[in-house]
């Protein structure tokens, strides 16, 4: 009776905990009475004269020789490798958008032979950097909804314990208040929307603004300086970047002439103000007194001079772009008859 011979093991590696099924191929295997992993006899089943299935026993990291014994003798050995169980210690960042696509660094031990990275039940693309680091790209949320998924890695040594990765909902912006302000910035703007709690950035166009998160539906931001014109305001969170809401930067108004520049203390006369950037004017002041006015164009306003004591006052206009410099208007006491 010929001695058994082994030509292949599949797989030829497995976890130190054992328990995985290994297929032995060779010749003269029909009469095998014992299969050894190193010096440990294992449970096995003869499939045919050329194939045996065996259950790997527990072992330590390293390799052992697998042999088969029959009345005809003992086969030569084939190496079987015990691989350490991979572990994960950190997942960074630990959150990202439901749509996936975030680059995530996994650190741990025994990662050199990892064959799969999973976020919940979803497989991720990955690259092994070293025995202690893997770079992965988070897939979309397994259920397509916000929530936590367990990140695990798989190798011939087994499947690691999981670490949580949180899929965050996409932020939205629904309104800004106010929707316009001066080119110098500095004014407070309230952003309302949804899923704003973990906002990491607020942008007016491409310019980053200082801000504070009030709650999941409100952020208070300070508008940065920009040139006149419209920009889109967006909020960024681990869930992604919101759609934009328009904010208008308004140039400061200026006054160049008043006509007439004097009038009676009783008021009531019409004064024409000329200047620039007057379209959005919200107030006309004679000194500290607001008065009725009408915007004619971007360069002209007509206002009604209010009553006041004799003397000079400064006339100014205010818009979302700021307050103009003042021009002098003089009230004159009417002559006595």
pTM: 0.73
Query: Taking a C-beta distance cutoff of 8 angstroms, is the pair 226, 232 a contact?
Result: no
Identify the pLDDT of residue 144. Answer: 84
Q: What are 69-109's pLDDT values in tens digits?
A: 999 999 999 999 999 999 999 999 999 999 999 999 999 99
Residue of 275, 274, 292 whose CA lies nearest to 283:
292
Query: Taking a C-beta distance cutoff of 8 angstroms, is the pair 256, 328 a contact?
Result: no
According to DSSP, the residues that pair with 314 across neighbouring strands are: 328
Rounded to whole angstroms, the Cα distance separating 122 from 149 reads: 9
**Placement of tokens 């294992």 in the chain:** 42
Three-class SS state of 261: coil
**3-state helix, strand and coil shares in percent for the chain, rounded to the nearest 5:** 0, 60, 40
Could you tell me the two tokens for 53?
A: 């299935």
Identify the pLDDT of residue 254. Answer: 98
φ/ψ region of 35 (left if φ > 0, alpha if ψ in -120 to 50, else beta) reads beta
Could you tell me the two tokens for 319?
A: 């818009």
Q: What are 294-334's pLDDT values in tens digits?
A: 999 999 999 999 999 999 999 999 999 999 999 999 999 87
Identify the pLDDT of residue 337. Answer: 63
Q: What are 195-249's pLDDT values in tens digits?
A: 999 999 999 999 999 999 999 999 999 999 999 999 999 999 999 999 999 999 9
Residue of 200, 202, 201 whose CA lies nearest to 189:
202
């Amino acid at each position: 009776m010929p001695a058994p011979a082994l030509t292949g093991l599949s797989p030829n590696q497995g976890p130190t905990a054992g328990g995985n099924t290994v297929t032995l191929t060779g010749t003269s295997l029909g009469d095998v009475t014992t299969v050894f992993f190193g010096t440990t006899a294992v449970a096995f089943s003869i499939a045919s004269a050329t194939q045996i299935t065996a259950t790997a026993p527990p072992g330590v990291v390293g390799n052992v020789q697998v042999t088969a014994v029959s009345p005809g003798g003992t086969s030569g050995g084939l190496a079987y490798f015990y691989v350490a169980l991979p572990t994960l210690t950190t997942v960074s960042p630990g959150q990202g958008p439901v749509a996936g696509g975030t680059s995530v660094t996994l650190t741990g031990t025994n990662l050199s032979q990892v064959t799969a990275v999973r976020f919940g039940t979803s497989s991720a693309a990955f690259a092994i950097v070293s025995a202690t680091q893997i770079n992965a790209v988070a897939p979309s949320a397994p259920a397509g909804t916000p929530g936590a998924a367990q990140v695990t890695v798989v190798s011939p040594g087994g499947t690691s314990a999981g670490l949580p990765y949180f899929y965050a909902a996409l932020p939205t912006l629904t309104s800004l208040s106010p929707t316009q302000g001066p080119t110098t910035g500095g004014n407070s703007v309230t952003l309302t929307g949804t899923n704003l709690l973990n906002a990491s950035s607020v942008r007016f166009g491409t310019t980053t603004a200082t801000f504070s998160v009030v709650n999941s539906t409100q952020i208070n931001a300070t508008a940065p300086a920009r040139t006149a014109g419209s920009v889109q305001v967006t909020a960024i969170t681990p869930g992604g970047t919101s759609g934009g809401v328009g904010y208008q930067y308004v140039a400061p108004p200026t006054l160049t002439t008043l006509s007439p520049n004097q009038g009676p203390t009783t008021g009531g006369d019409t004064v024409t103000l000329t200047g620039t950037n007057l379209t959005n004017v919200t107030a006309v002041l004679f000194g500290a007194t607001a008065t009725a006015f009408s915007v004619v164009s971007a360069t002209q306003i007509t206002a009604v001079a209010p009553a006041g004591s004799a003397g000079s006052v400064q006339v100014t206009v205010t818009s979302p772009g700021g307050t103009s410099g003042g021009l002098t208007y003089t009230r004159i006491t009417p002559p006595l008859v």
